[in-house]
A and B are shown apart, each in its own frame.
Chain A
Amino acid sequence: MTALTTKELVRLVIDGNPMAVGRAISILADRRAGALELLGELYRYEIKGKVIGITGAPGAGKSTLVDSLIKAYRAQGRRVGVVAVDPSSPFTGGAILGDRLRMQRHATDPDVFVRSLASRGELGGLGPATAEAARVLGLAGFDPVLIETVGVGQAEIEVMGVADLVLLLVVPGNGDEVQCLKAGIMEIGDLFVVNKADRDGADRLMGEIESLLRLAGRGDEVSARIRRTVATTGDGVTELIDGLDALYCAYESDGNLARRRRSHQARQIKAHLVRELTLRFFDFDEKTQFLSRAVDSLSAGEGDPVTLGRAIIDEFVRWSQGEEDGAKSETHA
């Protein structure tokens, strides 16, 4: 595997070779040698398959639902990829990635590929690895690719930057009625799924979601946007798949999909840009220690964070210009 060229690796990924697919995801996730070349190569291909994000509070049944979805998609002859994201410990950086435990019955099916990723403490939750892993799976011919996220805080928003459709999972009796009202939640989901629909309160919860959609002026979308499932039995899962397919078709024809993908691309470039700038800044600061001196000033009662911060940025820009001029004069020499 290590002796392969990037083009050979990509060829194997397209053929669906599991070792190659797994390795390609690792190379990108770890930014190993050859990662940027691999990324460039991946972007030469148009990935047609759909990416579906599945998010919701812990305990909502995401992994169980994904397992049920895999079974139902497979019954339709479709090949399913899964990227399951779990949080890294902020203290040790390690992680327990336990989502695949619930999907292990598909482990020997060559038309199912499950990859677990740790969030690795990326500011904002997902980091680029998730989108890139989804792209590798798409290239390997998996369609749909399901992305299962942590479901707390930022990750829910982040998944919008990666998925074509976002499925928001809620359960009755969890106080989810209130959760639904929280800022942004209703905007995140393309499809709202009440799981554990055999429990008390399921009907009421569906009614709540319906009311919220009507309040938002989306009353005509209610039948398209709400589903109920019992993931443990598979009840309602086929209807859910039909709902997802129908929405995807609608988005394809009304231009929504194209708009979304463009917005994803913008987000991804922006995320990399910010990341790269931050790395370059810290590289500069390691050499110059401006940040440390600013902290000393502030501690001594001089200046304020904003002015001090701006001054450092000005130094950074000056320094960057100097580096660039230096590089130019080297090429002229």
Chain B
Amino acid sequence: MRRIRILIAKPGLDGHDRGAKFVARALRDAGAEVIYTGIRQSPKAIAHAAVQEDVDFVGLSCLSGAHNRLFPEVIELLKEMGAGHMVVFGGGIIPHKDWPFLESAGISRIFGPGATVDEMVGMITKMAPDGSRLQPPAE
């Protein structure tokens, strides 16, 4: 039983990172190993980081409205690199009307303002790959 690894990334030019950092800390407190790559990342940089770190989940944060272009681009790049199995979720300011499009593009869940840490932890627990857990039993 191994630990879950999660990449938290901010694609595009949006510099509002408080939410992303909050999520990163919350997921660490839930037992995950979280790689935070900072602001102003290109989709390519995010995909490469995800592959090198061999993460289970990729959380994309965007508050600038560019999610419809950037999120699917990350997913396509991950697939091209052989990482299509990674679960990609999104957060930030993402209008409900865009959720169906993003979900059809491969985003597994979107956490809008008001979403709770419990919901996020619930999703991760549910979608965790076989053999992994947020808090594996100590050896």
Residues of A whose CB lies within 8 Å of any CB of B are 1, 18-19, 21-23, 25-26, 30, 32, 88-89, 92-98, 100-101, 104, 107-108, 113-116, 118, 120, 279, 282
Closest-by-CB residue of A relative to B135 is: A93
CB–CB B53/A115 < 8 A: yes
CB–CB A104/B45 < 8 A: yes
How many Å lie between the Cα of A26 and that of B34 in the bound state?
A: 15
Cβ distance B134 to chain A, nearest Cβ, rounded Å = 8
| 23 A–B contacts, CB within 8 A, in A order | A18-B81, A19-B54, A19-B83, A22-B51, A22-B54, A23-B54, A30-B2, A92-B30, A93-B31, A94-B32, A94-B33, A95-B33, A96-B24, A96-B28, A98-B36, A100-B37, A101-B38, A107-B45, A107-B49, A108-B44, A114-B52, A120-B3, A282-B139
Majority secondary structure, A binding face: mixed
CB–CB A32/B54 < 8 A: no
CB–CB A26/B30 < 8 A: no
Closest-by-CB residue of A relative to B49 is: A107
CB–CB A89/B53 < 8 A: no
Residues of B whose CB lies within 8 Å of any CB of A are 2-3, 5, 24-25, 27-38, 41-42, 44-46, 48-49, 51-54, 81-83, 131, 134-136, 138-139
Among the interface residues A88, A98, A107, which one has the most CB atoms of the partner chain B within 10 A?
Answer: A107
CB–CB A94/B28 < 8 A: yes
Question: Known: A88-B33, A104-B37. Is A18-B48 also a contact (CB below 8 A)?
Answer: yes
How many Å lie between the Cα of A279 and that of B138 in the bound state?
A: 12
Cβ distance A276 to chain B, nearest Cβ, rounded Å = 12
How many Å lie between the Cα of A32 and that of B3 in the bound state?
A: 11
The 7 nearest A-B residue pairs measured at CB: A22-B54, A107-B45, A94-B28, A30-B2, A101-B38, A19-B82, A26-B54
CB–CB A95/B54 < 8 A: no
How many Å lie between the Cα of A25 and that of B5 in the bound state?
A: 13
Of B3, B48, B52, B131, which is within 8 A of A93 by CB?
Answer: B3
CB–CB B51/A19 < 8 A: yes
CB-CB under 8 A from B48, the residues of chain A are 18, 107-108
CB-CB under 8 A from A88, the residues of chain B are 33
CB-CB under 8 A from A19, the residues of chain B are 51, 54, 81-83
CB–CB B49/A104 < 8 A: yes
CB–CB A116/B42 < 8 A: no
How many Å lie between the Cα of A89 and that of B36 in the bound state?
A: 16
Question: Known: A19-B83, A97-B34, A108-B42. Is A92-B135 also a contact (CB below 8 A)?
Answer: yes
Of A23, A25, A95, which is within 8 A of B28 by CB?
Answer: A95
CB–CB B25/A96 < 8 A: yes
How many Å lie between the Cα of A104 and that of B46 in the bound state?
A: 9
CB-CB under 8 A from B135, the residues of chain A are 92-93
Closest-by-CB residue of A relative to B5 is: A26
